[in-house]
Amino acid sequence: MGFSLFANLAFNGLITGLVVSLLALSITLVFGIARFPNAAAGDVATVGAFAGLLGPLAGGGTLWIILCGMAAGALLSVAFYFLLFRPLAGKSAVSSLIASIGMAFFVRAALTFFLGHDQRVYPLPIVRAMPVGPLRVQPTDIEIVVAAVLALAAVFSILHLTPIGKRMRAVADNAELARVSGIRANRVLVAMWLIAGLLAGLSGTLLGVKTVVSPEMGWDLLMPAFAATILGTIGNPVGAVLGGVLIGLAQELSTPFVGFTYKLGVGFLVLLVTLLIRPQGLFAKNSLVR
């Protein structure tokens, strides 16, 4: 029982951690480049999850759900960049942070005003898991792992292999210097918010596939995603994903010792202890921000 129990707990931790990671990836990009913790990321994910309900109209299967969700996330994200975050760019990070909390509330309020509080589910078949050793792997698990790996690879290659990514890193490094060297921050930031919205939409739809679609789902995911972001050092995509996985693993593996209800507290404890030892987070070296 011993090994099998812990193997299963670790696997559960990995999967929940990866769902969190995708949102953390969105947050860490904004944090690294626009320099504030974006509290609206969770509710962008929620909007993505609701937009995913339109997926079956476009075509069957998980893929269309995800695509609809990502598109909606990107749209919302870019729209709020122009309406809200661009005018706030010159002000302190706290202004943007508070405005993003306001945006989160506003978006959720609009959702519940028009669509109500009822839960919804995607019309996907429910299938039995495959046994893999002691584990039972569901198709959703595979989708989540694949999505997380692809998303991370995409973000990483955009940042390091494309011209716009290079400019993003330059802006992250020193916005002033980047401007002086002729980089048009506006275009970089539009690209950045677009990617952040796509990622949030992706995390929202995957969470919706795994659980149920509800107006509070993204806000509830925000706290762990924030924790993952700073655990892995802001502005570091690999760090965000590893941070999410680490917290997921710690939470699930702790349950035989502290019980199920305290596991959320364990996530916080891991974060706290890490920050006491490394105030910059675990992966400060490869971060966009120095």
Q: Which of residues 98-127 bind another protein (CB under 8 A)?
A: 98-99, 101-110, 112-113, 116-119, 121, 126-127
The C-alpha atoms of residue 255 and residue 235 are separated, in whole angstroms, by 31
CB atoms within 10 A of CB 60: 11
Residue identified by tokens 């990321």 is: 41
Under rule CB under 8 A, residue 12 binds another protein? yes
The answer to whether the CB of 119 falls within 8 A of the CB of 111 is no
Nearest of 109, 118, 123 to residue 47 by alpha carbon: 109
Q: CB-wise, 101 or 164, nearer to another protein?
A: 101
Under rule CB under 8 A, residue 138 binds another protein? yes
Please report how close the Cβ of residue 188 comes to another protein at its closest, in angstroms.
21
Nearest of 209, 214, 231, 266 to residue 19 by alpha carbon: 209
Please tell me whether residue 136 adopts helix, strand or coil conformation. Answer: strand
Of positions 81, 193, 226, 283, contacts another protein by CB under 8 A: 226
Please report how close the Cβ of residue 145 comes to another protein at its closest, in angstroms.
14
Q: CB-wise, 3 or 113, nearer to another protein?
A: 113
Under rule CB under 8 A, residue 81 binds another protein? no
Q: CB-wise, 183 or 225, nearer to another protein?
A: 225
Please state the length of the chain: 290
Under rule CB under 8 A, residue 290 binds another protein? no
The answer to whether the CB of 235 falls within 8 A of the CB of 28 is yes
Of positions 54, 216, 238, 284, contacts another protein by CB under 8 A: 216
Of positions 221, 241, 245, 288, contacts another protein by CB under 8 A: 221
The burial class, CB within 10 Å (0-12 / 13-18 / 19+), for 37 is buried
Binding to another protein (CB under 8 A): which residues in 235-264? 252, 255, 259-264
Helical (H) or strand (E) element with 26: helix 2-33
Please report how close the Cβ of residue 83 comes to another protein at its closest, in angstroms.
9
The answer to whether the CB of 84 falls within 8 A of the CB of 22 is no
> How many residues of this chain bind another protein (CB under 8 A)?
80
Please report how close the Cβ of residue 37 comes to another protein at its closest, in angstroms.
5
Of positions 168, 189, 196, 234, contacts another protein by CB under 8 A: 234
Binding to another protein (CB under 8 A): which residues in 268-287? 268-269, 271-272, 275-276, 279-281
Going by the DSSP 8-state scheme, the letter that residue 36 receives in this structure is S
Of positions 157, 187, 265, 290, contacts another protein by CB under 8 A: 265
The C-alpha atoms of residue 34 and residue 288 are separated, in whole angstroms, by 11
Nearest of 4, 194, 182 to residue 82 by alpha carbon: 194
158 to each of 29, 37, 110, 189, how far by Cα in Å? 12, 21, 33, 14
Q: CB-wise, 167 or 229, nearer to another protein?
A: 229
Structure tokens at 111: 């959702």
Under rule CB under 8 A, residue 134 binds another protein? no
Of positions 92, 174, 181, 286, contacts another protein by CB under 8 A: 92
Of positions 63, 87, 177, 187, contacts another protein by CB under 8 A: 87
Please report how close the Cβ of residue 244 comes to another protein at its closest, in angstroms.
11
